[in-house]
Amino acid sequence: MIGIVSYGSYIPKFRIKVEEIARVWGEDAKKIKGGLGVHEKSVPDVDEDTATIGVEAAREAVKRAGIDPEEIGAVFVGSESHPYAVKPTATIVGEALGVGNDYYAADLEFACKAGTAGMQICFSMVKAGMIKYGLAIGADTSQARPGDALEYAAAAGGAAFIIGKDPIAEIEATYSFTSDTPDFWRRDLQPYPSHGGRFTGQPAYFRHVISAARGLMERYSYKTEDFDYAVFHMPNAKFPVRAARMLGFSDEHIGQGLVVRAIGNAYSGSSLLGLAATLDVAEPDERVLLVSFGSGAGSDAFALRVTDKIKEFEREPKVWDKIERKVYVDYAIYLKHRRKIKA
């Protein structure tokens, strides 16, 4: 039985409210909050980036697993805000964790689904007998052009999953749906991403998320009723709620993982933080459907079954506790933290 052996998460403590961003750009905060379903978003500190968020999330995962870091045989970091254009984040994380030098490593990029892609690779490597444990991280300090609609949700955070045998949540099945759909992109040397506006909805998010979920269910004979929880990628709160309804899930299935309302969209960390928040409360034998989405575009779907091992697993502090620990900043401090203005 192979699956999630441990997990950890990290959310920077700073938050900016939608009202504060709307004030600067002269927009109607009520309308934006109603449209996106996001109330505030997380903001990294001046000395935080994807590497530091990845290390903090991974350290929590290693500590909870109670394993020797040297037993980790692979480190994959999925992000679209790797600190370097060329030079891996994975080696920084591996070194900080004390993984040693005997490990496979790579940085992954597939917009918001690079973290789940790392989980699939680790799952396959454990299954193939190449490694004992693999570490998959999804972390981002998401970029958004000031004044762009993305700015209201582009947030920072990440989650780390250790994949191995004897798990707290078995990966029963995984399936991906992929197509060439240019809904969101960032060209080389450009500081901010561009997107196709409304095009990011139906042909991009919904087509891939629904197809991946249905593909997983058809191929591995699951029904909606087989799942106790569902977690979808959360670019805003509206999309995952609508995707859940299209698949026949109720608000109770997705409420626990819907972290986007309180922290925004942490890109590669988004669906994984939702999964971590869900595992925080899940009971043995409950089943979780996880469907990520990465622009460009693709979705990775997972059927996860929680095992008895979760009972003795340390789940404190929970993701929602971390969400509650916050310090608000205004727009000027936010710009400083995002290194958009310098002394």
Partner 1 sequence: MVPRSWRKIRYRYDVRGSYCENCGNYHYPPRNFCPTCRRKGKLVETLFPEEGRVVSYTVVREKEPYIIALIELDNGARVLSQLSCEPGEVKIGMRVKKAFRRYGEDGEDGIIHYGTKFVPVD
User: Of the listed 82, 195, 233, 253, which one is catalytic?
Assistant: 233
Decide if residue 56 touches partner 1 (CB under 8 A). yes
Choosing from 28, 68, 95, 218, the residue that interacts with partner 1 (CB under 8 A) is 95
Decide if residue 197 touches partner 1 (CB under 8 A).
no
Nearer to partner 1, 84 or 328 (CB): 84
Answer yes or no whether residue 102 interacts with partner 1 by CB under 8 A: no
268: Cβ contacts below 8 Å, ≥ 6 apart? 78, 79, 80, 111, 112, 113, 114, 115, 138, 139, 140, 158
- 248, β-bridge pairs: none
Min CB(209)–partner 1 separation in Å: 33
84 binds partner 1, rule: CB under 8 A: yes
Tell which one of 24, 29, 67, 96 touches partner 1 (CB under 8 A): 96
Nearest Cα neighbor of 301 from 123, 97, 151, 45 is 123
Stretch of residues binding partner 1 (CB under 8 A), selected from 22-30, 40-48, 272-280, 294-302: 40-48
Among 5, 62, 92, 276, binds partner 1 (CB under 8 A): 92
For the bound state, the minimum distance from the C-beta of residue 59 to partner 1, rounded and expressed in Å, comes to 7
Residue of 20, 39, 60, 112 marked active site: 112
Residue 340 binds partner 1 (CB under 8 A) = no
Quick check: 245 binds partner 1 (CB under 8 A)?
no
Residue 343 makes contact with partner 1 by CB under 8 A:
yes
> Is 112 noted as a catalytic residue in this protein?
yes
Residues 265-324 that bind partner 1 (CB under 8 A): 317
Site string for partner 1, 122-161 (x = CB under 8 A): ----------------------------------------
Q: State the residues that interact with partner 1 by CB under 8 A.
A: 45-49, 51-52, 55-56, 59, 83-84, 87, 92, 95-96, 98, 317, 325, 343
Residues classed as catalytic: 80, 112, 233
